[in-house]
């Protein structure tokens, strides 16, 4: 690429937005063209943007998507807590522009899900449970990642949520059978793992056709590259 992508970051003053901006400022593939707070969406310079990363809120995401569709700007969404109706609205917009939706941008979580899915099929009679722990300021519970894992387990696992301290994010899947217990745990040490994943998604998404994409698409396409 001869010129860096002109990047807009929504929710730029939030925990994740700050880390995305910090990493993007050191990455030659990107130029921070617009840092947008929740209150000033109307000031977005759409004509100069190549891609947007959104870590704002469900309501903010839907507002931005409608405008992005008109301006033909791809959007990476890292927001969680969407209702089923809001997900349907995102799917409608993705028919017009590339949209990347992920509850978690961590490579480790991606492979954790793969492992959990395979092991749960091999041990169908084991009791299953999910424990997720995040910082006390996180608004949604259970986490989007925990919900994704629960879907892989076909609703067989109950989710337990804790909101304490300043924990970035921990997810543990427990499978318990006769005389033994298997635990699969992922711990995020820094929000940078999510921020870096969002940037990789943005760089990849810019080259895609309209559609709704996720981490599975990113890993599959990169494996073929």
Catalytic residue IDs:
134, 138
Cis status, amide bond into 142, omega within 30 of 0: yes
Dihedrals φ, ψ of 223, to 5°?
A: -65, -30
The CA distance from 225 to 216, in Å, is 14
Asked if residues 98 and 209 have their Cβ atoms less than 8 Å apart, the reply is yes
Neighbours of 76 (CB within 10 A): 30
**Paired sense of beta strands 127-134 and 169-177, if any:** antiparallel
Q: Which candidate, 33, 72, 48, 78, places its Cα nearest to that of 60?
A: 78
């Amino acid at each position: 690429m001869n010129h860096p992508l002109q990047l807009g970051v929504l929710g730029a003053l939030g925990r994740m937005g700050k880390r995305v901006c910090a990493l993007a400022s050191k990455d030659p593939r990107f130029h921070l063209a617009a840092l947008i707070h929740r209150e000033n969406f109307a000031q977005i310079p759409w004509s100069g943007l190549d891609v947007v990363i959104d870590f704002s809120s469900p309501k903010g995401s839907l507002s931005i998507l409608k405008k992005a569709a008109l301006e033909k700007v791809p959007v990476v969404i890292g927001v969680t807590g969407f209702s089923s109706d809001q997900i349907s609205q995102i799917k409608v917009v993705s028919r017009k522009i590339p949209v990347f939706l992920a509850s978690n941008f961590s490579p480790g979580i991606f492979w954790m899900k793969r492992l959990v899915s395979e092991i749960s099929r091999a041990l169908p009679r084991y009791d299953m449970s999910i424990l997720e722990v995040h910082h006390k300021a996180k608004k949604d519970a259970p986490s989007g990642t925990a919900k994704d894992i629960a879907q892989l387990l076909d609703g067989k696992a109950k989710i337990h949520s804790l909101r304490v301290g300043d924990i970035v994010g921990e997810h543990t899947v427990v499978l318990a059978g006769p005389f033994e217990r298997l635990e699969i745990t992922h711990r995020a040490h820094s929000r940078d793992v999510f921020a870096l994943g969002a940037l990789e998604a943005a760089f990849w998404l810019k080259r895609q056709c309209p559609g709704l994409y996720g981490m599975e698409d990113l890993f599959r396409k990169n494996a073929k590259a």
